[in-house]
């Protein structure tokens, strides 16, 4: 574990995967529904779904479909877990495909090195991967 304040060092040529990503075979709107249903199945509540495309269109900006689904715990979260929440799942179109992506919760161990987030972040990341796998079979 890093000491508090110590910077993360990346070696040249080392690839760091920041997100889990899946491609859906479903249409965009059905993928959003599938993500929300899978999240509930795996112990999350839907805090909010942000339709970014509609929000920006109302301000005169034209972008492709983008919905950000914010997930929270289905029950009260402890203090450590609350550092990792909400989880945001992005549903968007890329090159004609519908994609669902989420940042890896385990990355936040580096953001909060003074807290022991190993177990909580691993547990949360496993649940997020299950949501993605179920929503995008």
* Residue 35 near residue 100 (C-beta atoms within 8 A): yes
79: burial class by Cβ within 10 Å (0-12, 13-18, 19+)?
A: exposed
Alpha-carbon 111 to chain mean position: 16
pTM of the model: 0.84
Please give the DSSP secondary-structure letter assigned to residue 16: -
Map out the domains of the chain with their CATH numbers.
Answer: 20-135 (3.30.310.70)
- What pLDDT digit, counting tens, does each position of 62-111 carry? 999 999 999 998 777 777 778 888 999 999 999 999 999 999 999 888 88
- What pLDDT digit, counting tens, does each position of 25-44 carry? 999 999 999 999 999 999 99
């Amino acid at each position: 574990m890093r000491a508090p304040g110590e910077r993360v060092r990346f070696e040249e040529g080392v690839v760091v995967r920041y997100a889990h990503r899946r491609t859906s075979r479903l249409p965009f709107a059905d993928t959003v529904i599938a993500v929300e249903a899978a999240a509930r199945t795996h112990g999350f509540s839907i805090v909010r779904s942000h339709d970014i495309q509609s929000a920006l269109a109302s301000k005169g900006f034209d972008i492709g479909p983008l919905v950000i689904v914010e997930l929270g715990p289905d029950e009260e979260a402890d203090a450590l877990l609350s550092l990792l929440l909400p989880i945001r799942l992005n549903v968007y179109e890329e090159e004609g495909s519908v994609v669902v992506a989420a940042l890896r919760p385990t990355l936040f161990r580096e953001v909060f090195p003074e807290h022991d987030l190993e177990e909580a972040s691993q547990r949360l990341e496993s649940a997020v991967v299950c949501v993605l796998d179920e929503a995008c079979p």
